[in-house]
Amino acid sequence: MNSTSLWYATRASGIVALILLTLTMVLGLVTTSRPRARNWPGFAQQELHRRISIIAVVFVAIHVVTSILDTYVHIGWLAIVVPFTSPYSRFWVGLGAIALDLMVAVFVSSLLRAHLKPGTWRAIHWVAYASWPVALMHTFGMGTDSREHWVVALGALCVFAVSLSLAWRVRATAKRRASVPTITDHLVPLNRHVTTARTRGPL
Amino acid sequence: MSGMRIRIDPVACEAYGYCAELLPEAISLDEWGYPIVDDRPLHPELVALAKRAARDCPKRAISLREKASG
Amino acid sequence: MTPGVNPVGAVDNVHRLLGHPSDLKGHLDAHGPLNVAHGRDGSWQQDLVTSLEASGLTGRGGGAFPAAIKLALAQSAGPGGTVVVNAMEGEPASDKDALLLTRTPHLALDGAQYVAALCRAVRIVICIPIGRDSVAMAVNQAIMARARYRYAPVREEIVRPPGRFLTGEESALINWIESARPLPVFRPDKGAPLRIGRRQALVHNAETLAHIALIARNGAGPFRARGMTEEPGTSLVTISGDVKYPGVVEIDRGTPLWDIAVRSQPVEPVQALLVGGYGGTWVGPAHLGTPYAPIPLRTIGAAAGAGVIVVLGKTSCGLAESARIARFLADQSAGQCGPCVYGLPAIADDVAKLARGEGSGEDIVRLHHRLDQVDGRGACRHPDGAVSLVRSALAVFSSDVAAHGQGHPCPQWRKPTSLRFPRPVRL
């Protein structure tokens, strides 16, 4: 493989990885407990989210390996996982390393999920959401294709999709919280000592 | 008669409903979306699905128990 | 009666909890020294378990579990644990533990010492809710006296959990002690011991411990001499509602419900009795002669519960009072389990609608369906109590249900409540 084809492979797999990561984010965000629409198979969406994330990781792996094998610029194996140690384009490659580290954390914690406390797994997963904006910045910061119109349009589409999903999730969570019963005004004349304050619980 | 039974932790459960989607033969949902489990032993063919439901529950609320009915 | 000499029987050899001296010296004069053998010899422990077994004592906190079995299980769970005296008394209509601990704290404390000796526990924790400050003061004085005279082998301390309805539930109380969260824990295996850290925690109702203290000193005889053969001993019962003299009485187990209620002098003809607490059941006129004992009560669908009897007079509306109780119980949910968080308010709404005369036949059918759905589907038995309360109301006040359901509520539904409800307590 010559340097040019490796370079093309790096760029192409990077773009595909970004698209797949965006899709993973959307599928993961657009869920909520107590769903109203019972026609939508929630378990299938969760499974899709998982499988697409694995394919995304595969493309990230291709992206990373080809970028190192390509000797045109020197990045080095260490810089893949330790951020900001690459001789080439230190900052933007560093962002890529951060995104990779976060993805690896999610991957490993999900494999070991049964042995982790549920809170631990959830915390790692939430932190890993940060890998997406970091990957996005890495994509456009590296600069190789970021001036192409179609790449910019793609990036905008990804941002749009994730923003919309995030907004949906925030609203759905708020709606769910609001739907938990609170005590309303007195439905039956009550003795003055009766509580009117609803204490649903400490959470 | 003994067999595998599904047990759901009501504190952990948050009504995602994936279990009822996967295993409607044994789990149905009440009007608020929370699971009602059929207490009878699982048909052997359903055990694999039950294990999957336990694995897929986002809150890890489902466990399977071997229990003799008494 | 010479102090310091352990008598074989009590002064008058009659088993009773109320009417004993409150102070330490009077307590010792009446009952003799604590005489708890904390040594390695296992025979004293065996004798105590045998006495408890022979006595037939069951828990007085609502669970009604045989004390001897509970203690035998605790013994096998290893030393170093904590004895928890449960004086939380979350039932608003219950005062018996408060009264017992205010009048005769040394009995319950001695009971805890006996249990601690039996199970080689190293700590005794007395749980008195925030809001029962007079009880805490009385118990604190007793503890200080005991400490001053080096009377108590195991250290006794008071803690003040928040006074919510469910904080007295065993697992919730332990959860609070461990992590300040008074939330019941899902325990599919009820036989497994509760733990604080790695050591076991033994939770006992204050009244049960007082009985244990007397049985430990006097043997099973005086206890069995009271009550029924199948259900021996005495119980403290709080009577409230439409009565002239609400308060706590000590009754022989097996006393007919009506005979208990009349001791507080109902102010008008009695429509029904609420037995067991707000999570208990209504008992109608046909069954007021039922003996206060588990098996007879179970045959009419009731249970002794937390030692509570509320008297409902003829001029009150049973449905309206039940609606208030259902609302209270819904408010007191720990907020952990969907069927309870959503189901109890929905049920309370339905009963309230019925009480106001706005319900229809469909609403009643839906209410029954909801009761079936919610029953047994929480981590603790709180929803079960609410369901049994409402079900019994629909049965006992069935003629009211019919009238209210057709838009003709009785005028009494607007009457102010005769029931007691606490002020709000925040977690």
pTM (two decimals): 0.87
Question: Using the beta-carbon criterion (under 8 Å), do C339 and B30 form an inter-chain contact?
Answer: yes
Q: Please indicate whether, in this complex, the C-beta atoms of B22 and A43 are within 8 angstroms of each other.
A: yes
Per DSSP, B65 falls in state E
Of A26, A57, A18, the C-alpha closest to A142 is A18
Position C366 scores a pLDDT of: 96
Q: Are residues C270 and C349 in the same domain?
A: no
Whether B58 and A33 lie within 8 Å, measured CB to CB: yes
Sheet arrangement for strand C247-252: C247-252, C234-241, C308-313, C270-275, C281-283
- d(CA C220, CA C204) in angstroms, rounded, equals 19
Per the domain annotation, does A186 fall within a domain?
Answer: no
Identify the structural domains of chain B with CATH numbers, from first to last.
2-68 (3.30.70.20)
The torsion angles phi and psi of A84, rounded to 5 degrees, stand at 65, 30
Q: Do C289 and C257 form a contact (C-beta atoms < 8 A)?
A: yes
C152 contacts C105 by C-beta, under 8 angstroms: no
The answer to whether the CB atoms of B14 and A34 lie below 8 A apart is yes
Option in C349, C424, C427 nearest A187 (CB)? C349
Query: Which pLDDT value is given to residue C45?
Result: 83
Nearest to A33 among B14, B22, B53 (CB): B14
Q: What is the rounded distance in angstroms from the CA atom of residue C353 to the CA atom of residue B10?
A: 28
CA C121 – CA C74 distance, rounded (Å): 10
* Assigned domain for C407 exists: yes
Count how many pairs of residues, chain A against chain C, have C-beta atoms within 8 Å: 76
Q: C67-76 vs C206-218: helix axis angle to the nearest 10?
A: 90
| CA C118 vs CA C75, C155, C192, C424: distances in Å | 7, 15, 19, 39
Closest CA of chain A from C321, distance in Å = 9
CB pair distance less than 8 Å for A34 and B56: no
Instruction: Find the Cα–Cα–Cα–Cα dihedral C164, C170, C171, C173, rounded to 10°.
Output: 50
CATH code of the domain in which C389 resides: 1.20.1440.230
**Residue C364 domain flag:** yes
Is residue C256 domain-resident?
A: yes
3-class DSSP state for residue B9? coil
Residue A173 covered by a domain: yes
Mean pLDDT calculated for residue range B31-39: 92
C-alpha C423/C-alpha C384 separation (Å) is 24
Residue A39's CB: how many other CB atoms inside 10 A? Answer: 5
> Length of chain C in residues, anyone?
427
Instruction: State the chains in contact with B (3 or more Cβ–Cβ pairs under 8 Å).
Output: A, C
Taking CA atoms, C294 is separated from C234, C281, C395, in Å, by: 13, 13, 20
Q: Which of A35, A47, A118 sits opposite B17 (nearest CB)?
A: A35
Q: How many CA atoms lie within 13 A of A26 on its CB side?
A: 15
Domain assignment present for residue A193? The answer is no
Q: Which domain holds residue A143?
A: 3-179
The three-class DSSP label of residue C399 is helix
Cα nearest neighbour of A117 on chain B:
B60
Are C368 and C395 contained in the same domain? yes
pLDDT of residue A200: 30
Amino acid at C176: W
Is A108 domain-assigned?
yes
Please check whether residues C192 and C48 belong to one and the same domain. yes
With a cut of 70, list the residues of chain C below it in pLDDT. Answer: 1-12, 37-41, 423-427
Pairing between β-strand C194-196 and β-strand C199-205 as defined by DSSP bridges: antiparallel
- C289: domain CATH number? 3.10.20.600
Query: B15, C343: Cβ pair inside 8 Å?
Result: no
Number of domains chain A is built from: 1
CATH of the domain at C67: 3.40.50.11540
8 A C-beta contact, residue C291 and residue C266: no
Residues C125 and C153 in one domain: yes
Instruction: In whole angstroms, give the CA distance from residue A203 to residue A189.
Output: 30
Measured in angstroms, the CA of C95 and the nearest CA of chain A are apart by: 17
A-chain residue closest to B33, CA distance = A34
Whether C16 maps to a domain, the answer reads no
Domain end among C187, C207, C225:
C225
Does residue B48 register a pLDDT over 70? yes
Domain range for C120 is 24-225
- Give me the pLDDT at residue A144, please: 74
DSSP letter (8 states) at residue A195: -
Q: Using CA atoms, how far apart are residues B18 and B59, in angstroms rounded to an integer?
A: 11
Residue C21's CB is within 10 A of a number of other CB atoms, namely 15
- Both C47 and C115 in one domain: the answer is yes
Nearest to C338 by CA among B16, A39, B39: B16
Q: Which residues of chain A have pLDDT under 50?
A: 183-203
- Tokens read off for A121: 């797994």
Residues of A in contact with C353 (CB under 8 A): 187
Q: How many CB atoms lie within 10 A of CB C368?
A: 14
| pLDDT for the residue B1 | 53
Q: How many domains does chain C have?
A: 3
Shared-domain flag, residues C148 and C278: no
Q: Which tokens belong to C233?
A: 């001993």
Predicted local distance difference test score (pLDDT) of residue A192: 28
Instruction: State whether residue A119 sits within 8 Å of chain C by CB.
Output: no
C400 shares its domain with C326: yes
